Amino acid sequence: MELVALQLNAGADWPANRERIAALLAQLPATRPLLVLLPENAVAFGGREAVQRVAEPLGEGPVQDWLAAQAQRLGIWLVAGSLPTRIDGSDKLHTSCLVYDDRGQRVAHYHKLHLFDVDVADGHGRYRESDSFSPGSELCVVDSPFGRLGLSICYDLRFPELYRALREQGAEILMVPAAFTRVTGQAHWLPLLQARAIENQCYVLAADQVGVHAGGRQTWGHSVILDPWGEVCACLPDEEGLVCAPLERERLERVRRDMPVAQHARLRAVWRDNE
């Protein structure tokens, strides 16, 4: 079994992004089963107008049809890191992670829970995802041939309670598609990913955008695969490409057996009032 993170420099135009994704998918290893993760904003990485142009209702539309067709054609499990999906009765969108099995069937979806409304000391400066998007309200863990996949998107990475909840629901591989800014990525990307791997004893598959994008936004890259001990299995620093590593079930089971932190956790202990 092989894990693959696809690192992409996406722009605002879906046809151009589709060609970039297709070219990278053509380089996939021959190993099957194969789990492939696309980064956040793989479909369109730009302003509100660019995102609105490609937004589709969940479960229908040419973008989703193409993604499903790639999963079926290549015989892979494909996790489309995020694309914009429409919300009935709202002019805002969800940022949605979609999971397709090797027959091209969508088997799960997750709407991004935490929206990136922050100020960053870079050329873009002010980020307000809530201007265009609404947060999701449900977590998702899905069965796969690789183990149980816990879904998340980018800014979610800063909220460890989300990943603890995914582990409690049996997650074994944490999926982290992202478009981390260069400034925040350089400071926090790898430490946060390693923390999520170590504290939950999970593989982490993290696919990031890379380079300069529409509007002058810069993303960090450094897509990476981590094992349940927090060790780096493979990493791609600052160019488009694939990050590949084998999934070792024995490694996962040994780490959890030797240090059973899930059984030792006592966070549900009650508070005592001061005397």
- Please write the tens of the pLDDT for every residue from 66-115: 999 999 999 999 999 999 999 998 999 999 999 999 999 999 999 999 99
Q: Catalytic residue at 154?
A: yes
Superfamily of domain 2-264: Carbon-nitrogen hydrolase (3.60.110.10)
What ranges make up the beta strands (E) of 54-181? 56-57, 77-86, 93-100, 106-111, 117-119, 126-128, 141-142, 149-151, 173-178
Q: Please state the domain extents for the chain.
A: 2-264
Q: In this predicted model, which residue has the larger pLDDT, 117 or 16?
A: 16
pLDDT score recorded for residue 131: 87
Overall average pLDDT of the 2-7 stretch: 98
Overall average pLDDT of the 191-211 stretch: 98
**How confident is the model over 19-41, as pLDDT tens digits?**
999 999 999 999 999 999 999 99
Overall average pLDDT of the 239-262 stretch: 96
User: Among 154, 202, 233, 244, which one carries the catalytic annotation?
Assistant: 154
* CA–CA gap between residue 34 and residue 37 (Å, rounded): 10
Instruction: Find the DSSP H helices in the chain.
Output: 14-25, 48-54, 62-74, 160-168, 182-184, 190-200, 249-258, 261-264
Q: Is the pLDDT of residue 271 over 80?
A: no
* CA–CA gap between residue 75 and residue 183 (Å, rounded): 37
What is the chain's mean pLDDT, rounded?
94
User: Among 56, 97, 112, 129, which one carries the catalytic annotation?
Assistant: 112
Residue 56, CA distances (Å) to 84, 128, 154 in order: 7, 21, 21
* CA–CA gap between residue 7 and residue 206 (Å, rounded): 9
Q: Catalytic residue at 235?
A: no
